[in-house]
Amino acid sequence: MKKFYLQYFILIHLLVLTFFFVFFSALIHNREIDLNLSHLERIKKNRVLRFISTNSIKTCYWYNNRLTGFEYDLAREFADFLNVDLDIVTPGRNNMFSYLEQGKGDFIAAGLAITKKRLEDVNFSIPYMTVQQHIVHHKLVFGPKNIEDLNFQTIDVPRGTSYHARLEEIKNSGIDLNYILHDNIPTEDLIQMVSNQEIKFTVTYDTMAYLNQRYYPDIRIGIPVQEKEYLAWAVNKNDSQLLEQMNKFFLYANETGILNRIKDKYYSNIENTDLFDLKIFHHRIKTRLPKYKKIIMEESMKYDFDWKLLAAAIYQESHFNPNAISFTNVRGLMQVTTATAEEMGIENRLIPAQSIKAGIKYLDKMAKRFDHLEDEYERMLFALASYNVGYGHVMDAVQIAEDMGLDGTRWHNLKAVLPLLSKSKYYAKTQYGYARGWEPIQYVERILTYFDILKQKKNH
């Protein structure tokens, strides 16, 4: 009996050993296969593309429990181009290049300028944007008029950035400036410190400066300190296949309008900022918006709208003034017409709650007419334009765009043709005739500016 148990025990152990031998052999075999694959092939096999970036308004950030931002949207399009999922790695700006070298991410997409020093370590894609470095200072601080005026000045910048490299060059050229380097602090934090007069100067790209001027209207954009630079994505030196696909993607994104659409979403109209208007808006966010915030949130929730976007639209309509009356006699917070008030079932459009209910309900009606648009963001832009100029005029502009061979489902194409509704050559052939087509463009752009500001306000 003991002999039987011994034989049984030996047999079980042999089976277990055989299993582990086969299992680990398969692992080793698969590992060898993986090692033989190129980086691009492993990305496609694992179906995940990891991009290294920073948490910043110019790259990617969380809003309404969703990632958004210029670099994130562009990287997501690249992942779709490769037919893989997208993952993000945010190790802090100072650690991005070491993460890339260690294989903890596949490429860097973080608003990087192509510099000689960086070219020693990485390869860059085709550039996707041109930028220029500028001094940023408070409106009460006299900014330098030229590079020589930087003598004896102190400038705060993030360590390891192209701003840091440029100030080093200026100092080495004989300008006696002092610069303070900050580790893993976003540029927008330094801009806020300038706005609060905690520091005197910082340096950033023009795009970043104009964007932040929306949030801090007391800052001023000073002299350029560098020639034009080019932003691009970075890959490891030996990663030629991924670089090739990246460049193919950028060519594709240029040809199809993807790149322009994303640029338009985040950087449209940033230079045409009315600082006085923005100062008033920031003030009225504190003094007027709280009276209507609850009802705006409640009504927005009914239709699955972002309440901050609706608040921005209401401000554009009336500056949160419930007694506002336009020259065309539309009235109230959402400037509802008599006909629309009746259609939406309200009795008094000067009562704030009724005006908000009617306006949001009508905007939902407009949005539903564009359900065929795949992009939710663009659907809302079409709806807002229709709220302003009328659905019929928007559809006339869509027809003009399509007659010109443009994609009539894209807002940046609609912006190009809406002004044509004021020209007889075009409106004579339309169903609804003449319209001041530039007005809905300005209307939507202002709403998007106010919306962008509200998105960055954590306490509103």
Letter string b/e over residues 253-283, b meaning 16 or more CB atoms within 10 A of that residue's CB = beeeebbebbbbbbbbebeebeeeebeebbe
Look at residue 110 and tell me if it is in a domain.
Answer: yes
Checking DSSP bridges between strand 229-236 and strand 122-124, what pairing results, if any? antiparallel
In this prediction, residue 50 carries a pLDDT of: 97
pLDDT at 458 over 90: no
Look at residue 53 and tell me if it is in a domain.
Answer: yes
Look at residue 127 and tell me if it is in a domain.
Answer: no
pLDDT at 6 over 90: no
Same domain (yes/no): 32, 46: no
Give the residue-averaged pLDDT of 130-139: 97
In this prediction, residue 8 carries a pLDDT of: 52
Same domain (yes/no): 137, 170: yes
pLDDT at 11 over 90: no
Question: Which candidate in 71, 317, 378, 402 is catalytic?
Answer: 317
In this prediction, residue 350 carries a pLDDT of: 87
Q: How many CB atoms lie within 10 A of CB 406?
A: 17
Q: Is 317 a catalytic residue?
A: yes
Gap between the Cα atoms of 391 and 414, Å rounded? 13
118 vs 15: which has the higher pLDDT? 118
Checking DSSP bridges between strand 154-158 and strand 178-182, what pairing results, if any? parallel
Give all strands (DSSP E) within 187-290, no chain letters. Answer: 201-205, 219-224, 229-236
In this prediction, residue 32 carries a pLDDT of: 45
Look at residue 386 and tell me if it is in a domain.
Answer: yes
6 vs 419: which has the higher pLDDT? 419
pLDDT tens by residue, 233-245: 999 999 999 999 9
In this prediction, residue 93 carries a pLDDT of: 87
Same domain (yes/no): 112, 257: yes
pLDDT at 30 over 90: no
Gap between the Cα atoms of 172 and 273, Å rounded? 36
Look at residue 190 and tell me if it is in a domain.
Answer: yes
Give the residue-averaged pLDDT of 60-72: 92
Gap between the Cα atoms of 448 and 214, Å rounded? 11
Give the residue-averaged pLDDT of 35-45: 87
SS3 14: helix
∠ CA 305-306-308, nearest 5°, is: 135
Look at residue 125 and tell me if it is in a domain.
Answer: no
Same domain (yes/no): 191, 148: yes
In this prediction, residue 97 carries a pLDDT of: 96
Give me the CATH number covering residue 78. 3.40.190.10
In this prediction, residue 328 carries a pLDDT of: 72
The percentage of residues in the chain with a pLDDT greater than 70, rounded to a whole number, is 92
Look at residue 102 and tell me if it is in a domain.
Answer: yes
pLDDT at 89 over 70: yes
SS3 456: helix
Look at residue 103 and tell me if it is in a domain.
Answer: yes
Same domain (yes/no): 289, 243: no
SS3 352: helix
∠ CA 157-159-161, nearest 5°, is: 80
Same domain (yes/no): 155, 105: no
Band of residue 31 on the pLDDT scale cut at 50, 70, 90: very low
Give the residue-averaged pLDDT of 10-23: 53
pLDDT at 5 over 80: no
3-state SS of 332-351 is CCCCECHHHHHHCCCCCCCC
Please check whether residue 92 is in contact with residue 143, taking contact to mean a CB–CB distance below 8 angstroms. no
Please check whether residue 362 is in contact with residue 383, taking contact to mean a CB–CB distance below 8 angstroms. no
Same domain (yes/no): 288, 431: yes
Same domain (yes/no): 441, 296: yes
- Specify the number of domains making up the chain: 4
Gap between the Cα atoms of 295 and 301, Å rounded? 10
Same domain (yes/no): 281, 263: no
Checking DSSP bridges between strand 219-224 and strand 61-63, what pairing results, if any? unpaired
Same domain (yes/no): 443, 349: yes
Give me the CATH number covering residue 443. 1.10.530.10
Same domain (yes/no): 443, 315: yes
pLDDT tens by residue, 254-270: 999 999 999 999 998 88
- The whole-chain average pLDDT of the chain stands at 91
pLDDT tens by residue, 324-381: 888 777 889 999 888 888 899 988 888 999 999 999 999 999 999 999 998 899 999 9
pLDDT at 33 over 50: no
In this prediction, residue 273 carries a pLDDT of: 81
Gap between the Cα atoms of 36 and 34, Å rounded? 5
Domain assignment of residue 303, given as a range:
276-456
Same domain (yes/no): 244, 213: no
Band of residue 82 on the pLDDT scale cut at 50, 70, 90: very high
